[in-house]
Amino acid sequence: MGCITRKTCQLVSRDASKLKAEPFVKVQNKTLNTALDVMAEKKIKIILLTATFSIVVASFYTFDLQQYLTLEFLKSSKALFISYYEQNPMLVLGSYLLSYVVITAFSLPGAVWMTLGGGAFFGLLTGTVVVSFASTIGATLAMLISRFLLRDWVQGRFGKQMQIINSGIQKDGGFYLFTLRLLPVVPFFVINLGMGLTPLRTFTFYWVSQLGMLPGTIVYINAGSELAKIEALSDILSPTLIGSFVLLGIFPLVVKKFISIIESKSLEANA
């Protein structure tokens, strides 16, 4: 049926256009609201994580918990801890593992002494298993905390520098991390926090860290089992041992480079 007047036709046309536009506007508003909800949820998580991090670190230093993570304290309390362990093995093991995870997750000082304590209290086999999993879980949590709190800020401020690092991680991520884990000169917490700023996958970080830290873990656990003979960390890490770790860490990268050269030559020969 035709329009009665021109004005009526204009009104009908405008109403039809409005009806067509309404679904699009609703979808657009829904998408915007979803994006805002995600941003708000992320901000809340960051605030909670920051608050938790601040409370844990502040409590550690306020109550001077560092005094319990020294060589002297380990030596003086070894017999008492072993006695507790013999009476309540699962409780002591669980408490030790949880404490280790918290210390490493929040990058608190004392992981070395915790590792030595694992050898002193639990022996080589049990100590190695517990410390290996506790240190790797804690390191992974520290990496995720760094990624969640710092990555966007660092990427925005040091974008060009991080682009170079990220490309290297994407190319040799696992090998690169494995090498770092075997170098005693690179602090444990620095690797955890630094890797959190890269695109390295969490699972890759976990299993490479556990494998790469295992030789060092065994060395420290073994040293802890003979705690009475240790007077300083230099008694554990001799120059020869450090050199061995360096060679072991570089070896995978050398092999990978050698394989890539062979593959390149094969491609050239077939071309």
Domain with 94 in it? 81-270
Write out the two tokens for 56.
């844990």
Instruction: Please tell me the total count of domains within the chain.
Output: 1
Asked if residue 201 is part of any domain, the answer here is yes
Q: What is the mean pLDDT of residues 140-158?
A: 80
CA distance 50 to 162: 23
pLDDT digits (tens, 9 = 90+) for 17-69: 555 555 555 555 556 566 666 677 777 877 887 888 889 889 888 988 888 88
Asked if residue 57 is part of any domain, the answer here is no
pLDDT digits (tens, 9 = 90+) for 208-230: 999 989 988 988 888 888 876 77
Asked if residue 45 is part of any domain, the answer here is no
Asked if residue 234 is part of any domain, the answer here is yes
Asked if residue 25 is part of any domain, the answer here is no
CA distance 241 to 219: 9
Asked if residue 49 is part of any domain, the answer here is no
Please give the residue that has the higher pLDDT: either 129 or 43.
129
CA distance 241 to 248: 11
Q: What is the pTM of this model?
A: 0.72
Asked if residue 47 is part of any domain, the answer here is no
Asked if residue 254 is part of any domain, the answer here is yes
CA distance 101 to 95: 10
Residue 142: predicted pLDDT: 92
**Sign of the dihedral defined by the CA atoms of residues 89, 233, 140, 205, in that order:** negative
Contact 82, 121 (CB under 8 A): yes
Residue 133: predicted pLDDT: 97
